[in-house]
Structure 1
């Protein structure tokens, strides 16, 4: 640190430094405060947007439950308007379920494939993937469904994946392959209670 001989030299040095750097200090303070208030505004705006999307999602699902597929266009509009939020994926799943109930499997598969490609939640991805496989098999593409399920590797879902593979093999008439898949499913930690019944039926 530079030493000064008198207070006057120190004052003059401070004046010179401020003259050279004062604007930068003020600008930095303004930017810093602006960033702080800007971040708080962003957080508040994000929370408000999420709450609005949540309310809109609840209304959309209610319309779907009340009107069925007559509400399809409003559901699709919600999905398009909220494509960057997970609410859109949930809405797509609800719409797909309604379409399956109505027997419109192709539209349901389209919704499920979109949801699978756009979800950011790893926890819901296996649910979407398995539903898509089931719908694909309902469209008659059992071989495609089997090919897809053979690539699935979701931790904690081994039993459900193997059971669905068994269902698909049985649908093709491959009883031996179905029994093998069911037996594998029975050994998994997520095995369903229906596995033993399916194995017993095949053993008859």
Structure 2
């Protein structure tokens, strides 16, 4: 640091520095404050948007549970309006469920395919893929169902995939393959329900 002989020299040095750098300091301060305020506003807006989406989801779910497939149009409107939110994928999952119950299998597959393509949650994607395979098996599109099961990636879903493969084989009358698939599902950690299926196929 430079040494100044008098107080006046120090004052003049400060004035000179401020003249050269003052504008940048002020601008930097304003930008910094603006960034802080902007970030706080963004966070507040995000929280408000999530709260709004949550309340809207609850309302949509209540209507869907009360009206079933008749609420498809309003549910789809919610899905479209919140397409980037996981609330949309959850709503689509519930809509697919009531469409299956109403026998609208193709519509249900459309919803489940949308989930598989748009969700960022591996569990939701796997759930959708498993349900697509089950519907395809119900429609006796067995090859398509098995192909769909191949798209289920998480290793933690291996037991569920094996169980569905067993169900498909059983629908096709292939007892040996069904027994093998159920055994694989049990070894991968499936529950007593699969054991009962396997026991029913005992020779």
For the aligned pair, the TM-score class normalised by the smaller chain equals over 0.9
Q: Does 1:67 align with 2:64?
A: no
Residue by residue, what CA displacement relative to the aligned partner does 1:70-129 show, whole Å, maximum 9, x if unpaired? Answer: 211111110000011100000001110110001010000000010111112223222222
Shift of 1:157: 2.0
Once superposed, what is the RMSD of the aligned Cα atoms? 1.4
**SS of aligned partner of 1:52:** helix
Shift of 1:64: 1.1
For normalisation by structure 1, the TM-score amounts to: 0.93
Partner of 2:196: 197
Work out whether residues 78 and 88 of structure 1, in 8 Å CA contact, stay in contact via their aligned partners in 2.
yes
The aligned runs of 1:141-156 (5 Å cut-off) are 141-156=141-156
Structure 2 CA distance for aligned equivalents of residues 153 and 81 of structure 1: 29
Partner of 2:82: 82
Residue by residue, what CA displacement relative to the aligned partner does 1:141-162 show, whole Å, maximum 9, x if unpaired? Answer: 2101112213423232221111
Q: Does 1:33 align with 2:30?
A: no
Structure 1 CA distance for aligned equivalents of residues 16 and 140 of structure 2: 83
Structure 2 CA distance for aligned equivalents of residues 193 and 149 of structure 1: 22
**Superposed structure 1 runs of 4+ greater than 3 Å apart:** none
For normalisation by structure 2, the TM-score amounts to: 0.94
Work out whether residues 136 and 142 of structure 1, in 8 Å CA contact, stay in contact via their aligned partners in 2.
yes
Partner of 1:119: 119
Structure 2 CA distance for aligned equivalents of residues 55 and 129 of structure 1: 28
- The answer for unaligned runs of 5 or more in structure 2 is none
The aligned runs of 1:1-204 (5 Å cut-off) are 1-189=1-189, 191-204=190-203
Residue by residue, what CA displacement relative to the aligned partner does 1:11-50 show, whole Å, maximum 9, x if unpaired? Answer: 1121111111111111111111111111111111111111
- Count of aligned pairs between the two proteins: 203
Work out whether residues 93 and 115 of structure 1, in 8 Å CA contact, stay in contact via their aligned partners in 2.
yes
